[in-house]
Structure 1
Amino acid sequence: MDAIDILVNEHRHIERVMDVLERAVEYGRGGGDVSPVLFERAAHFLRTYVDGSHDAKEDEVFQAIISRGLPSSEGMLAALSAQHAVGRELAAELGAAVRAVTDGVMAREELYALAERYVRLHRGHTEAEEVRFFPMVRRLLSVDVMERVRAKFARIEAAHGPLADAADALELAFPLPIPTTRRTGSVRPHPWIGR
C-alpha cells in the first residue's frame, strides 16, 4: 500500500462519518431529536483526525509535489490547500455551534447547515483529489519519494492514533438509522436520541 492508497482508504473512513452527519441532519430536520453530542464528537473527529492527521498527511504529499516544481500558489494544489483551510474553519465553527445550541443561543438549523456545508466540502474535495490530483501524484513522484512520504505518514498517525479506529468509534456510538422493517412496518428508534 503506497501513500496514495493510504489516503484513499482514509477517505472511505471519513465518508462513513459524513454519512452519519448527513443522516443526523436529515433526521433532525424531519423533526427528530438529535443530540448535540453527535455533532460535538463529529467536530472533534474533524479537527483531530481529518485536519490533524489526514490533511497533515496530504500536506506531506503537497510538499513532495512542490519540491518537484509544481507551484503551490496556483492551480490544483492551491485549490486543495484552500479547501483544507475552509474545512478547518468549518470544523471549528461546528464545534462552536454545538456549544451555542446547547446554551440555547443558536437554532439547531444553523448547526445542521454547518454540518451539511462540511459534508459537501469534503465530498467535493475527495472527488477532486481522487479523480485529478492523486493520479498526477503517481505520475510525478518516484517510488522512493512515495516511500519517504509514507514514512512521514506513520509519524503523523502515531501522534493522533488511527483515523479508521476513530471513525469506527463514532459510527458505533451513532449508528445510522435502521430502516422500516417489512414485517412490522415500524422504524426502530435512532440510536443517537437522548445521548
Structure 2
Amino acid sequence: MDAIDILVNEHRHIERVMDVLERAVEYGRGGGDVSPVLFERAAHFLRTFVDGSHDAKEDEVFQAITSRGLLPGAGVLAALSAQHTAGRELAAELSEAVRAVTQGEKEPEALFTLSERYVRLHRGHTEAEEMRFFPMVRRLLPVDVMERVRAKFARIEATHGPLADAADALELAFPLPVPTVRRPGSVRAHPWVGR
C-alpha cells in the first residue's frame, strides 16, 4: 500500500463519520432528539484525526509535489489547501456551536447546518483529490519519494493514533439506525439519544 492508497483508505473511514453526521442531521430535523455530544465527538474527530492526522499527511504529499516544481499556489493544489483551511474553520465553528447549544444560546439547527456544510466540503474535497490530484501525484512522484512520504505518515499517525480506530469508536458510540418494521404505536429509542 503506497501513500496514496493510505489516503484513499482514510477517506473511506472519514466518509463513515460523514454518514453518521448526515443521519443525525436528518433525524434531528425530523423531530428526533439528538444529543449535542454526537456533534462534540464528531468535531473532536474532525480536528484531531481529519485535520491533525489526515490533512497533515496530505500536506506531506503537497510538499513532495512542490519540491518537484509544482508551484504551491497553482490550480488544484491551491484549491485543496484552501479546503483544508475551510475544514479546520468549520470544525472549530462546530465545537463552538456545541457549546452554545449546550448552554441554550443557540438552537440545534446551528449544529445541523454546520455539519451539512462540513459533509459537503469533505465530499467535494475527496472527489477532487481522488479524481484529479492523486492521479497527478502518482504520475509525478517516483517510488522512492512516495516511500519517504509514507514513512512520514507513520510518524504523524503515531502522534494521533489510527484514524480508522477513531472512526470505529465514533460509529460504535453513535450507530446508524437500522430501519425496522414497527407496530403502530411502538417507539424505538435512537441509539444516540441521551448520550
Normalising by the residue count of structure 2, what TM-score does the alignment of the two structures yield?
Answer: 0.97
Can you give the 5+ residue segments of structure 2 that lack an aligned partner in the other structure?
A: none
Is 1:28 paired with 2:21? no
- Residue 91 of structure 2 corresponds to 91
Can you give the 5+ residue segments of structure 1 that lack an aligned partner in the other structure?
A: none
Give the direction of change, closer, same or farther, for the CA distance of 1:136–1:187 in structure 2 (3 Å limit).
Answer: farther
Counterpart secondary structure, 1:146:
helix
Counterpart secondary structure, 1:193:
coil
Q: Percent identity?
A: 85
Is 1:61 paired with 2:61? yes
- Residue 111 of structure 1 corresponds to 111
Give the whole-Å Cα distance in 1 for the aligned partners of 2:183 and 2:132. 47
Q: Which amino acid aligns with 1:111?
A: L
Counterpart secondary structure, 1:120:
helix
Counterpart secondary structure, 1:44:
helix
Count of residues in Structure 1 that have an aligned counterpart in Structure 2:
194
Bigger drift between 26-35 and 67-76 goes to 67-76
Q: What is the 5 A alignment of 1:1-12? A: 1-12=1-12
CA contact (8 A) 1:179 1:187 kept: no
- Residue 52 of structure 1 corresponds to 52
- Residue 77 of structure 1 corresponds to 77
- Residue 127 of structure 1 corresponds to 127
Is 1:100 paired with 2:100? yes
- Residue 167 of structure 1 corresponds to 167
Give the whole-Å Cα distance in 1 for the aligned partners of 2:4 and 2:187. 40
CA contact (8 A) 1:177 1:189 kept: no
Q: Which amino acid aligns with 1:80?
A: L
Q: How far apart are 1:184 and its partner, in Å?
A: 4.8
CA contact (8 A) 1:3 1:149 kept: yes
Q: Which amino acid aligns with 1:102?
A: T
